[in-house]
Every structure is written in C-alpha cells, then in structure tokens.
Amino acid sequence: MEMHGERLIPAPRDTVWAALNDPAMLQASIPGCESVEKLSETDLTARLALKIGPMAARISAKVKLENVNAPESYTISGEGNAGAMGFAKGGADVSLKSTGPSETLLTYTFKAQVGGKMAQLGGRLIDATAKQISDQFFDRFAASLTPAPVAAAEPGAAVSLNPQPLPPAGAISIFALIPSEFLGLPILVWIGLALWLPILFMLFFFQ
C-alpha cells in the first residue's frame, strides 16, 4: 500500500517541529502503547495492545529514524508483527514547509507491505481505513496547535486597573519546556513513534 497526505498546521514551522517533540502529545496520539525499549540513538522496539469490541491484538514493532534534518524533514522505517494476524513493514518520508508566518505545510508519503490475514482484506479497504485513521491523528495534532478563541468580556464586567506585568520578550521559549530526552529515549525517537505506530494501528486493527 502507498499513502500520501498533507496538512496545513496553523503554527510556525519551528513550533510544529517542537510539538512533534512533545512527549505528552505523542503518547496521547499512539493508541495502546504499552512499552518502549531503546536499542540505540535511532532504533527502538515497542509493544502495543489494541482492543476495540471483541477484537484484540498485541503488536511488536521496530522503528528506525534516518535522514533527520531538523526542522525540515526526516525518514521513518519500521516493521510490526502480530503473529498469525499478520505483519507490516515499510517507511515514511515527512517534511515541514513554511507557507506563512503562522502556517506550516506537513507532508508525508508512506509505503508499506502487509502479509498474513491482513493481505486477504484487499487494498481498497486497507487504504481507506488507513487514510481515515491518519486523518484523525493529524486532526488532533492540528487542533492542539490551534489558538483558543479569546472570550469577549461581558457588558459591565469589572476591568482591572493593575494588570500583572508581562515577562520580557524572549523570556519564555517553547523549546526550553521540552526535555532533550523522555523516559530515557532521544526526543527524535518520539517523533518516529508519532507517525509509525499509528500506521501500525491502521494496518493491524482491521483484520
């Protein structure tokens, strides 16, 4: 299977790249992630447990990051195995392009091979399901970076005459809030998990 996609994110490119490094956001985006084991600075293994209704599967996955060019692009390769239910292996190229002061175009191309029971479903069903779940994943990511609307003040509401002083310009940086490692894993590894493990979810859930 092959899948292409792009999303316009309402934030500067550096902010989008930093958000892809946010462990809390990525953990929330990876369904059923049970454990992650670091093998090297760019290699890891992970286990997922997925159960929706009567269907359940345990997936062992391997992920490798290559060609990292922050904050512009990187390549993900990996493979997953769910025993008799099937397997998947492939890779994805991801790029970020500034399209304005507060907009970034995220583009990805993913190619994969599937086997086992999954291969019996047919390409159309697998492709349609993968696209649907991929859209949901990026919808949540984009929504998390969309500024919240400012509530209008009610008529007659009291206005403070002693506002708190603002911090000096440049005193707060989103990059300073993101650790270089989380759970002993390099942050770039979490970037790979953000895209590869949801893809494994797409492939293995619909058996």
Pairwise pLDDT comparison (73 vs 130), residue with the higher score:
73
Domains, the chain, in order of start with CATH, read: 2-147+181-205 (3.30.530.20)
Pairwise pLDDT comparison (33 vs 10), residue with the higher score:
10
CB burial string 81-103: b at 16+ within 10 A, e below: bbeebbbbbbbbbbebeeeeeee
What pLDDT, in 10s, does the model give residues 173-186? 433 444 445 444 44
Q: pTM surpassing 0.75? A: no
What does the block give as tokens for 2?
């092959």
Compute the C-alpha angle 205/206/207, nearest 5°. Answer: 100
